[in-house]
Amino acid sequence: MSEVMKRRVPSPPALTIGLLVAIGVGVWLVGLAAQTGSSDSARFVASTEWTTWTIAAGLSVAVFVTMLVLGLAAIVRPPHDWGLETTPDRRRFGYLAVALLFVAALAGILVFGSTPSKPVASLPVEHIIWRTRGVLVTGFLAMVPWLALVWLAHAECFQVKTTIERLSPWPVSTTDHDDDGLHGRPDDAGVETTRQTIEQLQRLWRLMTRCVGAAAITIVVAIVTSGALRTAFLAYAPGRSADFPASTVLLFGLLFALLQAAIGLPLITSWRARARSLVDVVNPVRFGVRPADGWLSDRKQLEQLLHLDVPLLRNPLTALSLFAPLLTSVLAVFIPQLTGG
């Protein structure tokens, strides 16, 4: 990166100030002209529960916009930075267009394709349905560039598979040094290709981490906002808890957990399969042959380098994909009950 580009990168204090300003603007927008003119509306809009929802919704909008900007910045970066070695520019923007269509269709079904919730519609707030839907639509838009990056990474994993299949297994250093053709060193071209593939898998891992993290952050704040909306409704109509049950928030978290798993887990599984294949090329297992003492430690070191030392279900990316939305939805329901909500 050039010195000019480095000077253009905002400093951490600037990013913090910018995020706080974005949150303030978001809170102002979702709470703008909320009163309908009735005394009932005035009391509700002045309540702590409604104020809490506006803060949560404003935070959500700020986070969604931030995720959208970061996603667009990531997708226009040089593909090599993310390990997308075979990705031309036209493919990146093609995937971005497809992701936009997919998210628009999904938002149309989940947000606009269903009848407005009667409990939410009954709140004495001007344009309450459009306020809540606007927050959700902003969240869907934030996921467009990250979804495109997930698909690009998945496509790249297939190219990596082809590269690995062309590599010959490295010779195995044995303890008895018999002339069986199993010991020695691979050719220089094979070593260089292997090194480049390892570095590419590491860059793809960083891309996957950012994609899963962005999705988890977006989903978590959306679920928190949904829980705050339920708390506000119960404060307005405490005798109508059956109209807005806790299961609604829980199912909301389950839906997004399943959606994130359906999108992210195939990529994680594909990447791990490529990384495992590469380990088997560099440190192949030869049955009936006793390898040298350093073989096992070398294999474990490579597995750690490629994050294969942790099982799939205990992997942080898997935990973020599956458990973060579910845990957040449970807390969004349980914590207000502890405080009397």
How many whole angstroms separate alpha carbon 138 and alpha carbon 126? 20
Return the pLDDT at 244. Answer: 85
Task: For residue range 124-161, list pLDDT tens digits in order.
Answer: 888 888 888 889 899 999 999 999 999 999 999 989 99
Q: How many helices (H) and strands (E) does the chain have?
A: 12, 0
How would you class 331 by CB atoms within 10 Å of its CB: exposed for 0-12, middle for 13-18, buried for 19 or more? middle
According to DSSP, the residues that pair with 291 across neighbouring strands are 174
Partners of 174 in the beta sheet? 291
Contact 244, 234 (CB under 8 A): yes
What would the two tokens of residue 140 be?
């869907």
Mean pLDDT of 307-334: 71
pLDDT tens-place string over residues 151-204: 999 999 989 998 888 887 777 665 555 444 444 556 667 788 888 999 999 999
The pLDDT of residue 64 is above 70:
yes
In this prediction, residue 156 carries a pLDDT of 92
Burial of 322 from C-beta contacts in 10 A (0-12 / 13-18 / 19+): middle
Q: Which of 201, 191, 192 is nearest to 159 (CA)?
A: 201
The residue type of 112 is F
Report CA Rg, the chain: 25
pLDDT higher than 90, residue 93: no
Q: Where are the alpha helices (DSSP H) in 143-245?
A: 144-165, 188-236
In tens, the pLDDT along 257-303 reads 888 888 888 888 899 999 999 998 888 876 656 666 667 788 888 88
pLDDT score of 6: 44
Structural domains counted in the chain: 1
pLDDT tens profile 1-30: 334 344 454 566 776 777 788 888 888 888
Determine the structural domain holding residue 184 and report its residue range.
3-338
Count CB atoms within 10 A of the CB of residue 325. 26
Q: Which of 229, 190, 70, 44 is CA-nearest to residue 126? A: 44
